[in-house]
Amino acid sequence: MSARHCLLVLLVLLTGCAGSLPPATHSGAETAVLTDDSFLSSQSRQRLAEANGQSGYYLLDSGQDAFLYRAAMIEAAEHRIDAQYYIWNRDDSGLHLAGRLLMAADRGVQVRLLLDDFNAEGIGELFASLDTHPNIHIRIFNPARNRSGWGRWVSFLMDFQRINRRMHNKTFVVDGAAGIVGGRNIGDEYFGFDESRYFRDRDVLALGPVVEGMADNFQAYWSSRWAYPASDLYASAPADTELAETMEGLRQQVIAQPRLPVSAPTGAEQGRSELAKAFNRMTIAPGELVFDPPPENMDAPSETPKRSALALQRLAQTATREILIESAYLILAKEQLQALGANERPQLEVAALTNSLASNDLVTNHAGYARWRPYMLEQGINIYELKPNAEACRQWLSEDAFCATGEVSLHSKSVVFDRSTLVVGSFNVNLRSIYLNGETVLVIHSAELAERVAADIRLTMAPGNSWEVALEEDGDLQWRSGEAEFTSEPTVDWWRRAKSGFLSWLPIEKYL
């Protein structure tokens, strides 16, 4: 048999191993029915009574606050919790929050959880067990044909176009009245609980009309034909004894709060008290929630910028003085840079903060950025790369021990336009977010909040926290931090540089 025939046979076998997706069993027409008599609804009405259609916002800059307010919202929930995430880790914080959802369901709250499938392998079966609770409904977005092992990766390869359409949106809505949106997934490294890495990130706790947009975002994906009930994907239900042990183990994660460095509020009274503190400090301002609807056809060409990207493009084109970008993964190619036209607007400063090779958790993503880094510099963008041992760690975390031994990475996705408009969401300023992922961005027209985040970004760009990247006349790059200068990616070994350098030659940046 020829090599060509062998390859064809192998592909057929692999396709057979990949299996097929079962048809989704939900009708797609389900909508949330909520009453307007909850604590959170009452808080929204009272605090926004004279807001003239504006919303209230409270920045969640620290991982600890992000964890505590999610826990508080679960405790305050009376009717429904709708949570939508790209990643939900099976670690201490992930299991703890899952246990809180279970206990909310025990007291009659309807819980709907929507999880993207790309990172679901480690926790999918646990959520399938939760899905057996009468008040918990879990769906998996755009699942692979196989659920585990090497067959799962074969599924990814055989369905490459479809699998690249990910639900990257992150929203958390309680009783249709209060919501959290931003860049954080659910996991120890996002909340400052991991011992080795902290993902610096930003969320917004909100009341008002923008929460309706978050609810619409969730409902669009929940009703999508690509959102599969967990029971369809994990058909073999655990034995009653095993299921009971799983449920009780999750409840104990809440009761004992093992290994968590903070004590979260427990019970409705404590949850409401914590939330009231944030509501008292909210900024009232106009805003809008922009999200990318789920694709109808996963195999359609992905050559057109999505709704969230176009919203950011419009804001960028109307900026006159300054655009500050904070993006964990940064890739702007020719089309985006030409539309931005920074070189043609000398009065406009565009500065971007992103990860260095040393702080980036993904060498592949850094390689895609490195491929376009010289061109971005040529087009007038000032670039700063985060140090893994940034001095600001001690401002972001209260754990001095971590800052002495752990590493920080940038995971936030924020943009400030002319110190008057702030955008916070799941949108990385890169090609994947522009063309492929479903994303959510909250646009806030508030000079107060824009100035606050701009100051934070500028602080992180300072020499104690980041390297400034410069393009020399001969085309070489230089990294500067105070008087220190480097002619190659700082503080990483040759092998990590070599991997990034090799991958940067590959034209795969759209998929990173």
For 294-309, give the secondary structure using H, E and C: CCCCCCCCCCCCCHHH
232 is catalytic: no
What token pair was written down for 42?
């009452």
- Regarding whether 338 and 258 lie in a shared domain, the answer is no
User: Is residue 306, in this structure, part of any structural domain at all?
Assistant: yes
- Regarding whether 322 and 275 lie in a shared domain, the answer is no
Q: Which of 96, 168, 306, 387 is catalytic?
A: 168
Task: Tell me how far apart the terminal alpha carbons of the chain are, to the nearest angstrom.
Answer: 38
The amino acid sitting at 179 is G
User: Is residue 49, in this structure, part of any structural domain at all?
Assistant: no
- Asked whether the beta carbons of 39 and 47 are under 8 A apart, the reply is no
Residue with tokens 């709708």: 82
Helix, coil or strand: residue 234? coil
Dist CA 304 CA 508 (whole Å): 17
168 is catalytic: yes
Q: Enter the DSSP assignment of 163.
A: H
- Regarding whether 217 and 332 lie in a shared domain, the answer is no
- Regarding whether 314 and 254 lie in a shared domain, the answer is no
Express each pLDDT in 101-129 by its tens digit.
Answer: 999 999 999 999 999 999 988 888 899 99
Domain boundary among 246, 280, 314: 280
137 is catalytic: no
The amino acid sitting at 15 is T
Which one, of 120, 83, 118, 122, lies nearest residue 102 by Cα? 83
- Regarding whether 318 and 217 lie in a shared domain, the answer is no
Q: Which of 65, 175, 201, 456 is catalytic?
A: 175
- Regarding whether 374 and 244 lie in a shared domain, the answer is no
Counting the structural domains of the chain, the total is 2
User: Is residue 48, in this structure, part of any structural domain at all?
Assistant: no
Domain boundary among 280, 310, 325: 280
Q: Which of 418, 445, 499, 510 is catalytic?
A: 418
Q: Which of 137, 170, 306, 366 is catalytic?
A: 170
- Regarding whether 194 and 122 lie in a shared domain, the answer is yes
- Asked whether the beta carbons of 439 and 169 are under 8 A apart, the reply is yes
Dist CA 327 CA 380 (whole Å): 17
Express each pLDDT in 191-219 by its tens digit.
Answer: 999 999 999 999 999 999 999 999 999 99
Residue with tokens 């969230």: 308
- Regarding whether 357 and 274 lie in a shared domain, the answer is no
Determine how many CB atoms are found less than 10 A away from the CB of residue 494.
10
133 is catalytic: no
pLDDT tens over the chain, length 512 residues: 444 444 333 443 444 444 456 667 776 655 555 667 899 999 999 999 999 999 999 999 999 999 999 999 999 999 999 999 999 999 999 999 999 999 999 999 999 999 999 998 888 889 999 999 999 999 999 998 877 777 777 877 888 888 899 999 999 999 999 999 999 999 999 999 999 999 999 999 999 999 999 999 999 999 999 999 998 888 776 777 888 899 999 998 888 876 788 888 999 999 999 999 999 999 999 999 999 999 999 888 889 999 999 999 999 999 999 999 999 999 999 999 988 988 889 899 999 999 999 999 999 999 999 999 999 999 999 999 999 999 999 999 876 678 989 999 999 999 999 999 999 999 999 999 999 999 999 999 999 999 999 999 999 999 999 999 999 988 899 999 998 999 999 999 999 999 999 999 999 999 88
User: Is residue 7, in this structure, part of any structural domain at all?
Assistant: no
- Regarding whether 274 and 311 lie in a shared domain, the answer is no
Question: With b meaning 16 or more CB within 10 Å and e meaning fewer, what string describes 401-415?
Answer: ebbeebbbbbbbbbb
Q: Enter the DSSP assignment of 262.
A: S
Q: Beta strand pairing status for 477-481 and 466-471?
A: antiparallel
**CA neighbours closer than 13 Å in the CB half-sphere of residue 69:** 26
Domain boundary among 247, 280, 313: 280
This prediction has a pTM of 0.93
334 is catalytic: no
Domain containing 348 equals 301-511
- Regarding whether 131 and 224 lie in a shared domain, the answer is yes
Residue with tokens 């955008």: 423
Which one, of 180, 144, 179, lies nearest residue 165 by Cα? 144
Helix, coil or strand: residue 405? helix
- Regarding whether 353 and 442 lie in a shared domain, the answer is yes
User: Is residue 285, in this structure, part of any structural domain at all?
Assistant: no
- Regarding whether 255 and 328 lie in a shared domain, the answer is no
Helical (H) or strand (E) element with 402: helix 400-405
User: Is residue 193, in this structure, part of any structural domain at all?
Assistant: yes
The domain spanning residue 340 has which CATH number?
A: 3.30.870.10
User: Is residue 64, in this structure, part of any structural domain at all?
Assistant: yes
Dist CA 141 CA 507 (whole Å): 27
Point out which residues pair with 94 in neighbouring strands: none
- Asked whether the beta carbons of 83 and 113 are under 8 A apart, the reply is yes
Which one, of 290, 287, 332, lies nearest residue 434 by Cα? 332
Please give the distance of CA 297 from its chain centroid, rounded to a whole number.
23
**Backbone φ and ψ of 290, nearest 5°:** -115, 130
Burial class (CB in 10 A: 0-12, 13-18, 19+), 483: exposed
Q: Which of 159, 201, 413, 456 is catalytic?
A: 413
456 is catalytic: no
User: Is residue 31, in this structure, part of any structural domain at all?
Assistant: no
- Asked whether the beta carbons of 308 and 436 are under 8 A apart, the reply is no
Q: Which of 79, 137, 387, 411 is catalytic?
A: 411
What token pair was written down for 403?
């800052």
